[in-house]
Amino acid sequence: MQIPMRQEYIRKRLQVLRPEQRVICMDPELLALHEDAAKVLEGAAEQVASEAGVPVSIIHDRLFQFVFRLEPSGSLLLVLSVPERDVEINVELPHALWKQTTPEKRA
pLDDT, tens digit (0-9, with 9 covering 90-100), for 25-58:
999 999 999 999 999 999 999 998 998 899 999 9
pTM: 0.85
What gap in Å lies between CA 42 and CA 56, rounded to an integer? 9
The answer to whether residue 1 sits within a structural domain is yes
Work out how many domains the chain is built from and give that number.
1
The answer to whether residue 40 sits within a structural domain is yes
Which distant-in-sequence residues (6+ apart) come within 8 Å of 16 by Cβ? Answer: none
The answer to whether residue 33 sits within a structural domain is yes
The answer to whether residue 67 sits within a structural domain is yes
The answer to whether residue 52 sits within a structural domain is yes
The answer to whether residue 69 sits within a structural domain is yes
pLDDT band of 107, cuts 50, 70, 90: very low
Q: Nearest CA to 59 among 79, 33, 77?
A: 79
The answer to whether residue 90 sits within a structural domain is no
| Domain encompassing residue 39 | 1-10+21-74
The answer to whether residue 87 sits within a structural domain is no
pLDDT in tens, 49-106: 998 899 999 999 999 999 999 999 999 999 988 888 888 889 999 999 999 998 764 4
What gap in Å lies between CA 15 and CA 104, rounded to an integer? 31
